[in-house]
Amino acid sequence: MIPFKVTDGIDCFRAIDWDRELFDELVPLPEGTTYNAYLVTGSDKTALIDTVYPPKTDEFIAALRRAGVRRIDYIVANHAEQDHSGSIPAVLELFPDARVVTNAKCKRFIMDTLPVARDAFITVGEGHSLPLGGRTLQFLMTPWVHWPDTMTTCVPEAKIAFTCDFLGAHLATTEAFADDEARVETAAKRYYAEIMMPYRGFSREAVDKVGALDLDFIAPSHGPVYARPSFILDLYRAWTADEPKPYVVIPYVSMYESTARMVAYLTDRLIERGLGVRPINVVGLDTGDYAMSLVDASTIVFASPTVLSGPHPDVAYAALLANVLNPKAKYAAVVGSFGWEGNLPEIVRDMLPKLGARFFEPVMVKGLPREAAFADLDRLADDIAAAHAAG
Ligand code: FEO
């Protein structure tokens, strides 16, 4: 771990996790990730903002020693998830007089999960500040980006905001700053879709709050530092906006070609009507790729054969994810096939109570789709196009 200077008096200790493939045993990490801790050095006090993932603790402590860090007065915990808080006990062992600075919720979570004593904490709230000498820590509560405990710490003198998970990206890189904006945008969008989209309204509020600050840097605890804050703030403004794009996502599975033929036919009809379409075969689904496709989609069409009277389990999983990821889609539909029984459309629809979408008439065929089924798909494409035209 080689620390780098962000700006005067602020250094980043970044643990790069090149090999991690899955976060929380759920989220794929095609480009690995980083865990960033920041050292803020004032003339009187020194603060550490966040720590690192427990398996990286030894590396982190060795880097602090190697850098000659002699004192840490405050360990600011912006968020209790252990990829940021997990090394707090080891830092306290090295600097026993340090106090853990965080909000009441985060304190509770840390005490629930880590061996940190109650009297080790200083509890802060919205707008509170701590002087370091020439540098001031200011705290903004930004809940639900990612957990209810999340907060942002700013140093106004350095025009920097430490946003922890918020605005971050799972991207293992040696680049200190987000200079390769195209690459960072893709990683940040994947991260937003997986982690932040379920709390989209809170992300929008946090963007407003952080966006109102006079900033030269945004320093998240995953991925590179933004030396052009408007880059990531503008992306978040677009992703969190309520208005979707004319874009249809079709998560599908096909066992004997019936559903695949319906998906291919519907895709062409939607393209003819001027809509963007993304069919996604959800067998072996990359959940991050799927989540990204949902960020701007206006319509989701679930397409499945009937399996044991209901949707194929992989389509059911795609529906479950769409329900919890809280995309901005306004419209939905179910298409598929069956052999002898089943009420697939109702089952899928019942799996999506939080989506809040208007459902179009489903299209179900017995066996292979024929003329009547294709006519129904024409009608569905017309319905989707008309809904878009009407706004
Ligand atoms: Fe990167 Fe919610 O932890």
State the distance from the centre of ligand 1 to the C-alpha of 74, rounded, in angstroms: 20
- Model pLDDT, residue 341: 82
State the distance from the centre of ligand 1 to the C-alpha of 304, rounded, in angstroms: 34
pLDDT tens for each residue of 164-186: 999 999 999 999 999 999 999 99
Residue 3: band (very low, low, confident or very high) from pLDDT cuts 50, 70, 90: very high
Tokens linked to 120: 């080790």
Residue 28: band (very low, low, confident or very high) from pLDDT cuts 50, 70, 90: confident
Tokens linked to 257: 């070609």
According to DSSP, the residues that pair with 7 across neighbouring strands are 10
Residue nearest to atom 3 of ligand 1 (CA): 81
- Model pLDDT, residue 27: 81
pLDDT tens for each residue of 203-226: 999 999 999 999 999 999 999 999
Find the mean pLDDT for residues 52-74: 97
CA 164 to ligand 1: nearest atom: 1
Find the mean pLDDT for residues 1-8: 96
CB atoms within 10 A of CB 271: 13
- Model pLDDT, residue 26: 79
Find the mean pLDDT for residues 294-309: 96
State the distance from the centre of ligand 1 to the C-alpha of 76, rounded, in angstroms: 15
State the distance from the centre of ligand 1 to the C-alpha of 390, rounded, in angstroms: 40
Tokens linked to 356: 């809040």
- Model pLDDT, residue 180: 94
State the distance from the centre of ligand 1 to the C-alpha of 70, rounded, in angstroms: 28
CA 221 to ligand 1: nearest atom: 1
CA 35 to ligand 1: nearest atom: 1
- Whose tokens are 């494409």? That residue is 381
- Model pLDDT, residue 53: 96
Task: Tell me the CATH architecture of domain 4-240.
Answer: 4-Layer Sandwich (3.60)
CA 150 to ligand 1: nearest atom: 2
Residue nearest to atom 1 of ligand 1 (CA): 165
> Where along the chain do the CATH 3.60.15.10 domains lie?
4-240
Residue 158: band (very low, low, confident or very high) from pLDDT cuts 50, 70, 90: very high
CA distances from 337 to 263, 331, 352 (A): 11, 21, 20
Residue 270: band (very low, low, confident or very high) from pLDDT cuts 50, 70, 90: very high
CA 195 to ligand 1: nearest atom: 2
State the distance from the centre of ligand 1 to the C-alpha of 295, rounded, in angstroms: 20
- Model pLDDT, residue 22: 85
- Model pLDDT, residue 386: 95
- Please check whether residue 154 is in contact with residue 47, taking contact to mean a CB–CB distance below 8 angstroms: no
Residue 274: band (very low, low, confident or very high) from pLDDT cuts 50, 70, 90: very high
Mean pLDDT of the chain: 96
Nearest to 147 by CA among 190, 102, 202: 202
The amino acid occupying position 38 is: Y
- Whose tokens are 């629809």? That residue is 349
State yes or no: pLDDT of 391 exceeds 80: no
Reported in sequence order, the residue ranges of 173-296 that DSSP labels E, i.e. its strands, are 217-220, 245-252, 276-281
pLDDT tens for each residue of 357-382: 999 999 999 999 999 999 999 999 99
pLDDT tens for each residue of 115-153: 999 999 999 999 999 999 999 999 999 999 999 999 999
- Model pLDDT, residue 342: 75
CA 222 to ligand 1: nearest atom: 1
Find the mean pLDDT for residues 21-36: 88
- Model pLDDT, residue 240: 96
Task: Tell me the CATH architecture of domain 249-385.
Answer: 3-Layer(aba) Sandwich (3.40)
Q: How far apart are CA 276 and CA 138, in angstroms?
A: 44
B/e letters for 98-117, b = 16+ CB within 10 Å, e = fewer, are bbbbbbebbbebbbeebebe
- Model pLDDT, residue 390: 82
Supply the Cα-derived Rg of the chain in whole angstroms: 24
Percent share of the chain, pLDDT over 70: 100
Ligand 1 proximal residues by C-beta, below 6 Å: 79, 81, 83-84, 146, 165, 222
Question: What is the DSSP pairing of strand 46-49 with strand 33-41?
Answer: antiparallel
State the distance from the centre of ligand 1 to the C-alpha of 219, rounded, in angstroms: 14
State the distance from the centre of ligand 1 to the C-alpha of 297, rounded, in angstroms: 26
